[in-house]
Structure 1
Amino acid sequence: MTSTTITQKIKGIATCFMCRAVMKHPVSISCGHSYCSCCLRDFCNRRVGYSRPSTYNCPLCLEPINLNTVRDNKQLERLVELIKEIEETEDELLCEAHEEQLQLFCEDDGQLICWRCERALQHQGHTTQLVEDVYQGYKEKLEQAARNLNQLQEECRNQKELITTQITEWKDKIEIQRQKMESEFKNFHTLLHEEEKSYLWRLKKEEEQLLMRLKEREANLEQKSEELKSCRLELEAKRQSSAQKLLQDVKGTLSRTCAVKLEAPEVFSLEVQTACDVAELYLDVKAMLRRHQVGVTLDPDTAHPHLYLSKDRRQVSRGYSQQNLEVSSRRFTAFPCVLGCEGFTSGRHYFEVDVGEGTAWDVGVCMENVERGLGMKQEPELGFWAIRLCPENGYAALTSPPTALELQEQPLVVGIVLDYEAGTVSFYNMTTGSHIFTFPKASFSDTLRPFFQVYQYSPLFLPSCNE
């Protein structure tokens, strides 16, 4: 009978009927059968859970159990310890080439070898020692490596906590700044509405940019933490194993674990850069609007035959019909209108029109493909967003139907703001810096161009950005 068979039979004797494993802290009951102490306790507790029995019965023979007679089985516990010793002995590694015990360790190659390997040509001149002589030294090196990894793990954990705190603090500061901005903007005139959105967009971009960097660092630290944990578990398993297993590829293990490094923590500034003094903006509306100002010139190919343009194409007036004009399908023929040369397909743009003390004018923007003949109607549904002054009805926004405008002061210069993405066209009295009118939100899908309609004795002038 082989030693393996004998070991299996001994394990069968020491196996608990309840958990089917080698017993832990075996106890014997009055009928002579033995179980793990915890298995017997759990068995009795489960029985109490169903009903409170007067007696308990052995799971094997069903004989009554007297709990007062349960005793530790010292002999069986010694047998269990003996089984563990036999298994550890059987677990020892043998030399693959010579099937001898690996009792030596070659320092030069970092390998476990047997006495026959030591005499072989490949190990001649190498430093070899008994396993039991080098075991403790390498075990201490592994323990030191484990301590170093534990220290790195703790530092990594601290950095993660700092990053998490910084993310929370950053979000809180952004939220405070956002609430402050929104609260202030709500208390001011309608003309600041678009400026508010602009600042909030910049603040959001600033938040996203730093949050992205913080979260990227957090993810890197999480990955490094898992790497450290894996190395630490590998070292722990190595350190708890037998001498042969501990020394198997021990130098490779030490090399891999010692190569693990933690990058120096990146310093993040949590100061919000986007700030806005709303009161200052309110006091300087003209400067606010002119940050988006574009220069506009007039397009002669679109001008009605009754309109005269200056050489620099910045002034237009109405007169008699001109002869010999170049034929153009882009020219207005029904009404004395002209477009600006500049086309807008995105972004936010501002331009000014000096209307002076003229008694009639139309100014605004329109789609490039609007009707220019007899079927022309100035309505948003047909591609026009403009305001008008006429002697009979005063000021009006050319909605459908027109919206009368009550202005406290006559505008000598009209400011026009187009926000293509927002779908809005707004008008301002640049003489006083006050808001005139904003058209309801639209959805632009084509090029928009400055639009002007010119009346008798009411010329229009387009100031340059520097004027």
Structure 2
Amino acid sequence: MASANTSGSEENFSCSICLDVFSSPVTTPCGHNFCRTCITKYWDGQVKFKCPLCNMAFNTRPDLRINTLLSELAAQFQTSIRVKDQLCVKPGEVPCDVCTGTQLKAVKSCLVCFISYCQTHLEPHQRFAVLKKHRLVEPMDRLEDRMCKKHDRLLELFCRTEQVCVCQSCTETDHKSHPVVPLKEEYEVKMAQLGKMEAEVQQMIQERQNNIQEIKDTVNRSKADADREIAHGVHILTALKRCIKKYQDDVNRMVKEKLKSTEKQAEDLIKELEQEIEDLTSRKIEVKKLSHTEDHLHFLQTFRSLKDPPPTRDWTTVEVLPPSYVGTLWRSLDQLEETLNMEMEKLPGDAELKRVQQYEVDVTLDPDTAHPHLILSEDGKQIHDGGVRKKLLDNPKRFRQGICVLTRQSFSSGRFYFEVQVKDKTGWCLGVARESINRKDLIIATPESGYWTLFSYKDGLVFNDDPAVRLPPRAELQKVGVFVDYDEGLVSFYDVEARVHIYSATGCSFTEPLYPFLGPWRCDYEGINSAPLIISPVNQTD
């Protein structure tokens, strides 16, 4: 159907019911025209017969006949519309260069005339013998750009040496010795390359989109971690404030009780002294009174009763010592530290351990760094002291004094985590070490010398620092997790089985690659401490 939004001339040939060009038009007695089918269907549903356009009523249903003139005109108009729809230039089609006004689409292009023709204007090339010799091709736009400027011939070949389009004459002159192929062949090659380029670009886009998502995921995890850390901090600090208040009250109470006891002792002594003073004053008055009597008999009789003084204390041995408050505050601080540690133990260490376990790395021990006493497993995951010094080449990477080993892998950024089984060991050390450590002399394993390590002795755990940080012993410690955040300068140790945090070294300065470090220590002649250190895979369901 033709569009209702048409020119005025099309409206003259359109039915007002279907809005299309008339089909078998008929005229009503009132002079209006409709398609026979349209007016018939319209009246079939009516009781009274009216004109749809002017509403004129008819007594009986009119006998309609086809308007022959209007029918012929409508047919001609329909044909013109069909021709126009077929020949008018549409987007992407080549227009006729000869048409004036409305351009029709070209059906051929002439490589001699450099002109594109519609079917009408192409007619001379099909009629005259001279023009029939011209080379006609499928319609092409910008014909002048498709011709060789030097030879005026069509650019239909491609020179692979100079990567340019050439004509047939070019292959006989400037490009005579160059490999040339038809444009279509090179087009297919380049299209394949373009497809590969598109795939590569798409892959790069996808990788960057993945990077964006990873960054967003990291930010989301960081927010969740921050919320948890704030909640843990509030919990601990609230408990700490509560404990500080309690122990402050306890210290005040103990000091006041000691002071009150001293004050009570002093008060009792003062009362006793005052009583003795009162008794002595009475005696003094009696003595003085007697000293003024001249009655010999009375004097002698009274003097005998004054001969024995009233009982008094030997005050030379009596003293009030000020109370000692030494140690009161320190005892409270020790109790406060113990309480704080108990509160720390209550923290959800399992969640923290799971959070760091996601940064697990697969590391294997490097035999080139192992001390000659050490024996490595074939998979590079276990190491123990063999008790015998092997004869090995003096590799510059090998430890000569310390019974220890590094991994093959190193880390210079980001976060990483690994676990080591220490079961049945009486002594060991593990952690991380920087690449430039001294491997030939006696090891002083402190952060200053490039080591961030946890040591285990019979009497407990020690983080080697200056001074060393002594940690409470952990019963049945079987597996230790080591987490490093290179960029944040953090090294943390975890009791994996108990799923609790052991110790964290913060504010570390990392400026070079870090290697996981294991020291199984020596075993004695009785085989004590002969169990291996084992790099274990992470099992988050432990």
**TM (normalized to structure 1)?**
0.40
Q: Larger RCO: Structure 1 or Structure 2 (Cα < 8 Å, ≥ 6 residues apart)?
A: 1
Choose 1 or 2 for highest CA Rg: 2
State the TM-score, normalizing by the size of structure 2: 0.35
